[in-house]
Structure 1
C-alpha cells in the first residue's frame, strides 16, 4: 500500500468517527471510533500477509452437493438444486435427488456423466532437491515433496509423474485430474531433458547407439538426443526423451553398463528451471497451462 493510500485511509477513518459523534451525540461512540482508528494505525506498519484460501472441504463432514456443483463452475446453487431434483447428478455412481446431501472431496461427483472438480484448479512447478520422496510411504524420518509446497495451496494437489528419491529437477503438481491424466498418457510423449552424471565417461560409440534407440525389456525406447555437456567431463551428459516410463533414464544407461550417480530434470513439457532455484516452487502462468493442455 502506498503512503498516499495510508494517509487517505486515516483521514477517512477520522471523518467517519466524527460523523458518528455528531449523529449519536454521545462520547461513547467517539471513544469507539478512536479505538478503531488506533487499532488500524497500529497494524498499518506491520507487513500484510496474503491470506491462504481455505479449502471448502476443511469440514470433515464435507459440503452440500449443490455447493459442490456451484464451486465447480457449472451453475448457481439454486440451479444446482433443480438439476439434482431432475436426476442429472450422480455420486459414486448413484443418482442423488436428495436436497442437502453432503459429499466429500474423494467422492466421484458427475453432472450428466462429466466428473466435477469443486476446487479451483492449481498448477505448481517445483524444482525438487535430492533426498525427497515423491510417492509411496517414505522411510522412517524421510521427507516428501509435499512438504516443499505445503504453503503454496490448500488444495489436494498430486505430482504428475515421478522422480526418484535422489533425483532432482522439475516436478509438476495439480488437482486438475483431466490434465494430469492427459500428461500421464500423451500420444507422442512429453518432452523431457535430463542432465545426468555417470560413474564413468560415456563412449562415443554408446552415444551413437543410443540415438538409434535402446531396447528395455524387449520394448524400444526412442531417444530424441544425447550429447556431452559443454566444458564438462564426458561422464556429464544431457539426454532428451519423451518416454514417461518409471526410472527410464536410469534403465537406459544401465542397459549399456553405466550407473547413474546424479539425475536432474531441467525441461518438462516446455517448462524450464529458469528463475526457479532448487527447492523453490511457483504457480504456472495461464499460457503455460494452455500449452500443457495442447501436448
Structure 2
C-alpha cells in the first residue's frame, strides 16, 4: 500500500521541534520540552534553543538515540483481546506491536494512537507520525470513536436516553454523541468524541450494566470492516490524507 513520502528538510532548514515530531518521536510541544531539558543533540552538541534549525546532513539524537525523517508509516489494527496497547510490556504480555506482520525494523518507532484496554477489541491506529498522533488524541479535534457494546441485561429505553443526556462519572459527566440498539436489547452502538480511560465501560456501569463485550468498530472514520481480529493493514494514501485533513495538517 502507498505511504506518504518522507519529508525533506527545506534548503533553509527545519525548526527542531518540527523535525523531532516528523520523525515520530513526539508532538512539537513535547519536543520543545525535550530541547529545554537538554535531551537533544545535533552533530554531537546538546542544543537548548527552540529556534534551532536542522540543516540537511545534520545528525540528530534524542536521549542518545539517532532519529531521521523516514517515511511515516500507518497501520490500522483490529485489536484482539488479551493484548496490551503499548509498545512493550514488562510482564511479557502480548502487545499490539506483536500483532503486526511486518519487519522488526519497520516496527521501530511505531506506537498506538491512544489505547484500548486489554479486553476491548477493535480499531486501533499505529503510526510513527508524532504530529498526527498528537492531534488525533487532542480533545480540540473531537475525533469520533464508534463502539459496539454487549451487556448482560437488556438496556431499557430510558437508559438509552440517559446515555444521550449524560451520566455522572467520577471524573465528570459523560454523554454519547449517538446511541441506538444494535440488534438485541442487550446490544447497543454508541459514538463518542472523548477518549477518557475505560469511558464506555464506566458509562454502562453507571447504569448498572456489566459489559461482557466491547468493540471499537471505527476510529476517525477508519473501520474494521473486512479486517480479521488480530490482524492489521496499511492505510491507503487517501485514508492518510483524510486523517490529516481531520486535524488541519
TM range (shorter): 0.7 to 0.9
What SS does the aligned partner of 2:69 have?
A: coil
Q: Which residue of 1 aligns with 2:210?
A: 259
1:186, CA displacement in angstroms?
A: 3.9
RMSD across aligned positions (CA): 3.2
Q: 1:263 to 1:106 in 2, by over 3 A?
A: farther
Out of 241, 245, 249, the residue aligned to residue 294 of structure 1 is 245
Aligned to 2:175: 222
Distance change in 2, residues 1:175/1:208 (3 Å): same
2:9 to 74, 96, 102: 74
Distance 1:198 1:140 in 2: 30
Q: Give the Cα separation in 1 of the matches to 2:175 and 2:122.
A: 22
**Do 2:87 and 2:95's aligned partners in 1 also have CA atoms closer than 8 Å?**
no
Tell me if the contact between 2:155 and 2:186 (Cα under 8 Å) persists in the aligned partners.
Answer: yes
Deviation at 1:275, TM superposition (A): 2.1
1:93 aligned to which of 47, 66, 80: 47
Whole-Å separation in 1 of the counterparts to 2:194 and 2:90: 28
CA apart distance, 1:227? 1.4
The answer as to whether partners of 2:41 and 2:62 remain within 8 angstroms in 1 is no
Q: 1:131 to 1:150 in 2, by over 3 A?
A: same
Q: CA deviation at 1:154?
A: 4.1
Q: Which runs of 5+ in 2 are unaligned?
A: 1-5, 14-39
Stretch moving more, 275-284 or 135-144? 135-144
**Could you say which structure has the higher helix fraction?**
1
Tell me if 1:241 matches 2:176: no
| Greater relative contact order (CA < 8 Å, ≥ 6 in sequence) | 2
**Among 118, 129, 150, the residue aligned to 1:197:** 150
Q: Identify unmatched segments of 5+ residues in structure 1.
A: 1-70, 81-88, 110-115
What is the CA-CA distance between 1:75 and the residue it aligns to?
A: 4.7
Q: TM-score, normalised by structure 1?
A: 0.62
Offset at residue 136 of structure 1 (A): 7.6
SS at match of 2:205: helix
Secondary structure, counterpart of 1:254 in structure 2: helix
Q: Structure 2 vs 1, CA of residues 106 and 147 (structure 1 numbering), >3 Å: closer, same or farther?
A: farther
Deviations 1:35-94 (A, max 9, x none): xxxxxxxxxxxxxxxxxxxxxxxxxxxxxxxxxxxx751158xx87xxxxxxxx974634
Alpha-carbon distance between aligned partners in 1 of 2:129 and 2:57, rounded to the nearest angstrom: 26
Report the equivalent of 1:119: 70
Partner of 1:147, secondary structure, is: helix
Is 1:182 the counterpart of 2:135? The answer is yes
DSSP 3-state at the match of 2:112 = strand
Q: Is the 8 A contact 2:149 2:187 kept in 1?
A: yes
